[in-house]
Structures are given as structure tokens and as C-alpha cells.
Amino acid sequence: LNESTNQVYNLGYKYEFEKPQKTFDVEINYNRNDRPEDSVFLDGDNNLLQTNQIETVGQNVIVNVDFVNPINDKTKLELGLESRFDGTDNTFDRDFTYFSDFDYKRNIQSAYANYGKQLDKWSYQVGMRLESFQVEANFRRVDENPGQFKDDIFTVYPSAFLSYVPTEKNTFNLSYSRRVDRPNLGQVNPIRNWSSPTIDQEGNPNLEPQFTNSVELNYTRTTKIGAITSGVFFRYINDPINQVFIQSPYDPNKKLMTFDNFESTTEYGIEASGNLNLKKWWSVNYGGDVYFRNATGVVEDVNQNLVEKTVLSTPFNARMNHTFKANKKLTFTWFAMYRGGVEDIQFSNKVMWKTDLGARYSILKDQGSISLRVNDIFNTMRARFYGENPDIATGQFRWESRMVNVNFNYRFGAGKNRALQRKQRDQNETQGGGLF
């Protein structure tokens, strides 16, 4: 039994100066998540084997301050501060008796500055973000010595963007950036997340953040029917976070699914995207990429020895979204995506794809609308994997991807008092990081 509750609060303030586009923003976000679990494990004869009671409480506070000052019509300065406080407290009782507990606190303070300038057909923007990252984790388990993990990292993240527009129809862009993806709270929590007769899943509090250096060169061509962008890219990922299988240290008959940092991953390839109006009634948005991926890391073999492994693969990904206007009120949509199989260091993924269909009808003098969407109409969306280390294994994971959504939307008033526009922000956290 798992009944979770989630609370989200957001407060925003924006001051607009008399000078056009000069603004000062403050945004505060608070999130609290409570996820209690009461599990019962039975054997094949329906006899009680074990009960688990897990309490998980997570909290997150983010405060952002942003200042934008257009110095003149060709120069702009942006400054900002961010404070993030994350934490989780977890208690694990087995058969209503204390077994373990875990607390994790993370404090991130950062400041950024961006300076942009327009020079005839050329424009550029240079930026810098300074970040102080502090983390402390404490883990206690019966019959074991308490474990603690602390880290304090100061990091500089530079970025640079250069643009050249020789004509109205042609644009060239060159960019460099360095970014971080930290493990999320679920990936660092060492208290068991789920269990099966052969596998337990838990996090790793010793995970390090992964850092990515990216260089991209893109060319955009504007035509009568829309814009087409193509480009090349290079990414170097240091300490990439991945899901791994090892022999369980608690049960010789089980494997442990957890997370670890591999050594490095290099990716370089080509990509293309576009927004095209093929007909007055038909438009399409598409994207695709193909690249070489070279990954290196250490895994456990069948004899529980650590061995270094390097894998070269060539992933291919594509997506497209079509919009068909039957008349002024009725619109149909068709979305499809394809993710090619990827060979990885320990477990490799097979092909994944799906397609969705939708319709939208305007009502109430176009102030309202009714929409219908069917996701994954062929029920093909699933994660399939295979591997040889530490054992030969194959499997798949399915979720509720085939869904029917019916929505009603109505816009009150004339739209003069719209919600405050929020600045797009990156959470800088890995999502999943493995097979699923």
C-alpha cells in the first residue's frame, strides 16, 4: 500500500522599470512530498514472509532573483542569484521493528552573469555561473556502523554563444557550455525502493554529479514554408550516472540494482529539426539525431571481479508532430517518436517507439475548447534491455503509456491579466539514469 501526498507552493514578484525590458524578478518555490509504504511479502503458498514499513519525506526550497538590464538597443546584461535547499528523511521498519534510516541534506548557492552584444551581422553572449555545492548524508542500519557522506564543491560554469546572420534567410550559431547533472534524491537513497524474489533496488549516497562539456555548430535556413536547422555537436560527459547490477551484499541469492558513476562518455554526431507549414491546413514539427557514443566504465563480472569495459554505439532518435486543421474550429494532431537501441557498458537498451493521436474543438466563441488525446495507440511503449555482466539477463519494463485524455479549457476575460511569465530553469538533475 502506497498513498503519497505532494504539496507545491509558488510565489512570484516582477518589477518592470520605466526603461523597456528592464526587469527585476523574485520567485520562491516550495515542495513537500510524503510517501509512506506498507508492503506485505508472501510465498507461493500464501504464507507471510515479511512486512515492510517505509516513511519517506522530501522537501525542496528554491529562491531565484533575476535582474535584466538592456544597456542600449544592442547590449544586454543579465544578473541572478539562486538558493536551493533539498532534503529527505527516510525510516525503514521490517516486521514493525526498526531496521534502518537515512537523511540527506543538500545546499546549493549560485550566482550568474550574462553579457550580450549585437554587432551588425554578428552577435555574441558570454556568461559565467559560480556555484557552491554542499551535501551531507547519514545512513544507519541495525548491526552496522553508521555511515556518513559529506562533500563540498565549488564549480565555475562558463558559456559562450556566437551568431552570424549574413542574410535574412541564413543564420549560423556556434556555442560552448558546461553543465552539471546531479543525482536526484531517489538515486542517493540507500533504503530499499522495491524488492522482488531475485532483485532489490536502492540508491547510492556516494554518487558524484556528472559534468558535461558541449560544443555545437548549427545552420538555420528560412524558407517560404518554415525554418530548417541542421548541425553538428560534440559532448564529453565526466562521471556519467548509470544504473548498475551487482551481487547483493545482504543476500547471496539476490542481485542489487543501484546507481554508480562510470568513467566517461563521449558523444559526437549530427542533428536536424524544423517547423514547416506544408499546406494552409497542414504543419509539422520534427527533429532527429544520429551520433557516435563511446562509453567507458568499470562493472562487475560473473566472478564478482571489477573489470573495465569500453563500448562504441551509434544511437538514432527521431520525433515528429503533425497538425491538421479541418476547419476554423476542429484540429487534429499526430505525434510519433522513435528511440533506437543503445549498447551500453553493463545493460543495453532495445528500440522504443510510440504514436499518439488527438483532436481539439473550439467552443463558446473560441473562449473554450474540448480536446481528446489517445497516447500510445498501439501500446508499444516499453523499455527492453539485455546484458551479460554480472549475469546474462534480459527483460522489459512496462508502464501505463496507453491512455485516453479528455480535457476542457476555458479562458476567462480578455487575457489582459495573464499569469506572470516564469523564467525557464533547468533542474540540473539526472532523470532515471538507467534501464527505466
Q: Which residues face 193 on adjacent strands?
A: none
C-alpha span between 2 and 153 (Å, rounded): 36
pTM of the model: 0.81
Query: Helices in 165-209 by DSSP H: which ranges?
Result: 185-188
For position 329, what pLDDT does the model report? 94
Output the average pLDDT for the chain: 89
Name the DSSP class of 352. E
Fold of the CATH domain 168-410: Maltoporin; Chain A (2.40.170)
Strand 255-261, strand 199-201: pairing: parallel
Strand 97-119, strand 170-181: pairing: unpaired
Q: How far is CA 391 from the centre of its chain?
A: 29
Closest CA to 249 of 147, 344, 393, 349: 147
Is pLDDT of 34 > 70? yes
- Percent of the chain exceeding pLDDT 70 equals 93
What is the mean pLDDT of the segment spanning 203-231?
Answer: 94
For position 2, what pLDDT does the model report? 62
State the pLDDT confidence band at 433, using cuts at 50, 70 and 90.
very low
Q: What pLDDT, in 10s, does the model give residues 141-188?
A: 888 888 888 889 899 999 999 999 999 999 999 999 999 998 887 788
- Percent of the chain exceeding pLDDT 90 equals 58
Domain boundaries, the chain: 168-410
Is pLDDT of 72 > 80? yes
Per-residue H/E/C for 63-119: EEEEEEEEEECCEEEEEEEEEEEEEEEEEEEECCEEEEEEEEEEEEEEEEEEEEEEE
Is pLDDT of 69 > 90? yes
Q: Which residues face 95 on adjacent strands?
A: none
